[in-house]
Amino acid sequence: MDADSDVALDILITNVVCVFRTRCHLNLRKIALEGANVIYKRDVGKVLMKLRKPRITATIWSSGKVICTGATSEEEAKFGARRLARSLQKLGFQVIFTDFKVVNVLAVCNMPFEIRLPEFTTNNRPHASYEPELHPAVCYRIKSLRATLQIFSTGSITVTGPNVKAVASAVEQIYPFVFESRK
């Protein structure tokens, strides 16, 4: 097995975080009263609303900014965000669905081999940071993609990036380095 042979790696997207604006002031008390599946955090000044069908949790601020987490793909995130905006519209607010943006994508990938972390860190000095006293994984940052990878000795890699494409490119980029330091 060498690094050039085609290896199909399953990248499982576990979380997609997106934001959008409603361009209108939202009355949180009204949402808390008339919305179902809602938690009102009065001390912080936000409302948590959970949708069932795309399993999404939305954090709603009175300024009209909404953050949705829990989706498993970018499309599902948009799907859920629009449903949320529609629910707010039904509650009586003049909602306009604008500035939708996927902010963060978290994915997990399993390599079919174990990785020697000290060797990997020595070979990838400036980008890789390994402190076993703090965290069992190596933290590898790819500045160009704005992605961070956490590489565990078991071969499991957790990737966070600004979108799904960046995450996939990050895994592609890291594979040869990780392959070099495999067990």
Partner 1 sequence: MAARGRCPECGSGSLVEDAHYAQQQLVCAACGCVLSEGLLTTTYTDEEHLREVAYSQSTGQKEQLSRCLQRGIRRVQDLCKVLQLPAVFEDTAVSYFQRALQLPAFHLVSLEKKELLGGCCVFVACRQHRWPLTMGTVCSLLYARQELFASVFLSLQRELGLSVPALSLADLVTTHLNSFRLVQPTASVPAPFLEDKEQLLARTMAIVELASETWLVTGRHPVPVVTAAAFLAWQSLRPGPRLCCPLARFCRLAGVDLPPPAHLRLRELLEILLGMASQLSWLRGFRLDKRTVVKHIGDLLQHRLLLLKRAFSQQDGQGQQDTAPGQGSGSQGSLDKGSGSQGSLDKDSGSQGSLDKESGCPWAGKQQRGGSLRPLLPPCLIHPRKRPRPAAPSAPAVALTGDEPISDSEIEQYLRSPEEIRAFRKAKAWP
Q: Rule CB under 8 A: which residues touch partner 1?
A: 1, 12, 29, 33-37, 49, 51-53, 72-79, 82-83, 86-87, 90-91, 112-114, 116-118, 121-122, 125-126, 129-134, 136-137, 152-154
CB of 173 vs partner 1, minimal distance in Å: 21
Q: Using an 8 Å Cβ cutoff, are 112 and 182 in contact?
A: no
Find tokens 């690094």 and name the residue: 3
Task: Report which of 103, 109, 118, 120 is spatially closest to residue 168, judged by C-alpha positions.
Answer: 109
Whichever of 49 and 167 has its CB closer to partner 1, that residue is 49
Whichever of 22 and 87 has its CB closer to partner 1, that residue is 87
Rounded (10°) CA dihedral 140, 109, 117, 128: 0
Residues with Cβ within 8 Å of 17's Cβ and at least 6 positions away in sequence, in order, are 67, 68, 69, 77, 102, 103, 104, 105, 106
- What does the alpha-carbon distance between residue 92 and residue 27 come to, in Å, rounded to a whole number? 10
CB of 169 vs partner 1, minimal distance in Å: 22
Whichever of 35 and 64 has its CB closer to partner 1, that residue is 35
Whichever of 113 and 165 has its CB closer to partner 1, that residue is 113
CB of 172 vs partner 1, minimal distance in Å: 21
Q: Using an 8 Å Cβ cutoff, are 17 and 67 in contact?
A: yes
DSSP label of 26 = -
CB of 99 vs partner 1, minimal distance in Å: 15
Whichever of 37 and 94 has its CB closer to partner 1, that residue is 37
CB of 132 vs partner 1, minimal distance in Å: 6
